Amino acid sequence: LMARPKPPLVLARASYRMRRLRDAARLLPIVGAFLLILPTLWVADGTIHMTASDLIYFFTVWLHLVIVAAVFSRGLRKGERIDEEED
C-alpha cells in the first residue's frame, strides 16, 4: 500500500483569496450597519436632527456599500467558476 501524499501546508493563492473575500463579504453588513448608525453617536444631547449633511452622509455610505457588494459579488462568482473547474 502506498501512503497518501500530505496536503500542502500553505493554501493555494486563489483559495486563500476566495476565503478572505468571503470573510469580507460576511463582515460587510456589520460594517455597513455601524457606518449608518455612526451619525447618531455624534449628537451630544441625544436628539437626532436630520440635516442635509446627514442625508448626504447616509446616501454616500449606502452607495459605497452597494458598490462594494457588487464588487464582492463579481469576485465570488469568478471564484465559484474556478472552484468548479478544479473539481
Amino acid identity of 46?
G
- What's the rounded Cα separation, in Å, for the pair 40 and 25? 25
Kindly compute the dihedral angle of the four CA atoms of residues 61, 66, 20, 22, in this order, to the nearest 10 degrees. 130
Report the first-to-last Cα separation within the chain, whole angstroms: 26
In this prediction, residue 27 carries a pLDDT of 96
Average pLDDT, consecutive stretches of 10 residues, N- to C-terminus, the chain (87 residues): 70 80 95 91 74 91 97 86 58
Query: Closest Cα to residue 14, out of 61, 84, 66, 65?
Result: 84
C-alpha cell at 2: 502506498
pLDDT at 85: 58
